[in-house]
Amino acid sequence: MTLRTIDSLGSLQGKRVIVRCDLNVPLTDGQITDDGRVRASLPTLTALLAAGARVVVVSHLGRPDGQAVAKYSLAPVAARLGELLGQPVAFATDTVGASATDAVGALADGELVVLENLRFNAGETSKVQAERIAFAEQLATLGDALVSDGFGVVHRKQASVFDLASILPSAAGLLIQTELEVLERLTEKPEAPYAVVLGGSKVSDKLGVIGHLLPRVNSLLIGGGMLFTFLAAQGHKVGASLLESDQLDTVRGYLAEAERLGVKIVLPTDIVVASKFGADAEHTITAADAIEDTPYGAAGLGLDIGPESAAAFAAIIRSSQTVFWNGPMGVFELAPFAEGTRTVAQALTEVGGLSVVGGGDSAAAVRILGFSDDQFGHISTGGGASLEFLEGKRLPGLEVLGW
């Protein structure tokens, strides 16, 4: 089957088009701290407005668990969207109530409204199919068609992602098309040399990706909290660093499989070890096999890859034609432990071929560390969805669109 695109919906002049975006942005005191997902939604919204559609934007934000929670309101997002579009954007204070009905009814061709957080209604994320469908049917009364463009949620069987797409004529938006094109380049005949850089806290979150990509890559670089499970699997002591003891045998299996396939699994040779978790912690650089030999002993915490390792990772990245990176190399939010992530990010900007930042914490890190989106080949908007795609899983929010 072929993914249905906006063209399949025919003329949209005067039609009410519900657009399922992923506007789940970070907020601090009601202020957006990273508007990357809002900006990523612009191409689809702009195209629909230009086609004369009456655009109804729906999204989730945070996890309010079916309750109306003020700090998870999409009001700041609607305001930012209006600024980026350069036109007024209406905001409904509910999702399927009187405010939404009135706001959608008041739309003229080429106008847009944002509805309040979908997850204020328990039906959006319900595990009970009948409850999801009931909510989707309420949403469907507000539109004539659905454009699904929230790539970050296509791995979820939720009312606005899956059930609504079965009720209304539906198609994928431009963002989902772009994400799929890039991710398929990472899995179907990627240009070699191909390096995958994985970080983040838990190796268990990445096991599926490692297993699926090992036969496809030339190098697998491991940083972040997950590296300590790899070090422990090799017999090294890791102090008080993050460790998933229940994954040691699995990791040993991947190390053996990589050797059989001729894939280089590259682990850090030096580590930044701290006395405690905090920006003010005492810290030192030590060899990766000597974490407990620092003054902090068994209480030492590995919080970043060391400069020698960062330089080695960067050299492999720069010499590759295809690079996928998911997960920071250390606790980048704390200045003393951000250099590994910064060095990796800088190297990705110097890749001659395709460089992909795999959403989630990696996308947040590059922006917090001062990089701009256009320095990379692609920054994914869907951390979990990207990983599940790269694991080879079928994603319900895509399957319902014909993929």
Q: Nearest-5° angle of CA 27, CA 31, CA 36?
A: 65
Q: Which of 143, 199, 360, 397 is catalytic?
A: 360
Q: Is 99 annotated as a binding residue?
A: no
Active-site choice (14, 52, 202, 278): 202
Residues 6+ apart with CB under 8 A from 353: 191, 320, 321, 322, 323, 377
- Spatial CB neighbours of 395, under 8 Å, sequence gap ≥ 6: 154, 155, 385, 388, 389, 403
CA distance 58 to 394: 24
384 is catalytic: yes
Is 14 assigned a ligand-binding role in the annotation? Answer: no
Residue 59 phi, psi dihedral angles, 5° rounding = -160, 165
Which one of the listed residues 66, 97, 384, 402 is annotated catalytic? 384
Question: CA–CA separation, 233 vs 323, rounded Å?
Answer: 26
Q: Is 339 flagged in the annotation as binding?
A: no
| 212 marked ligand binding residue | no
10 is in an annotated binding site: no
Of 403, 224, 209, the residue nearest 324 (C-alpha):
209
Residue 63 marked ligand-binding: yes
Among residues 4, 37, 132, 342, the one annotated as catalytic is 37
Q: Is 60 annotated as a binding residue?
A: yes
Q: Which two tokens stand for residue 368?
A: 């917090």
Q: Which residues does 349 contact at the CB level (< 8 Å), separation at least 6?
A: 355, 371, 375, 376
**Does the annotation flag 124 for ligand binding?**
no
Catalytic residue flag (residue 16): no
Q: Quick check: is 202 catalytic?
A: yes
Establish whether 302 is an annotated binding residue.
Answer: yes
Task: Tell me whether residue 36 is annotated as binding.
Answer: no
Q: Is 121 annotated as a binding residue?
A: no
Please confirm, yes or no, whether 342 is among the known catalytic residues: no
Q: Is 293 annotated as a binding residue?
A: no
Q: Annotation-wise, does 150 bind a ligand?
A: no
Bridging pattern class, strands 31-32 and 16-20:
unpaired
**Residue recorded with tokens 């990983």:** 387
With a CB cutoff of 8 Å and minimum separation 6, the contacts of 91 are 74, 75, 78, 79, 103, 113, 114, 116
Closest CA to 391 of 186, 246, 118: 186
Residue 24 labeled ligand binder: yes
Q: Is 333 annotated as a binding residue?
A: yes
Active site residues: 37, 202, 360, 384
Binding-site members for ATP are 206, 302, 333, 359-362
Binding-site members for (2R)-3-phosphoglycerate are 37, 119, 156
Binding-site members are 22-24, 37, 60-63, 119, 156, 206, 302, 333, 359-362
Binding-site members for substrate are 22-24, 37, 60-63, 119, 156
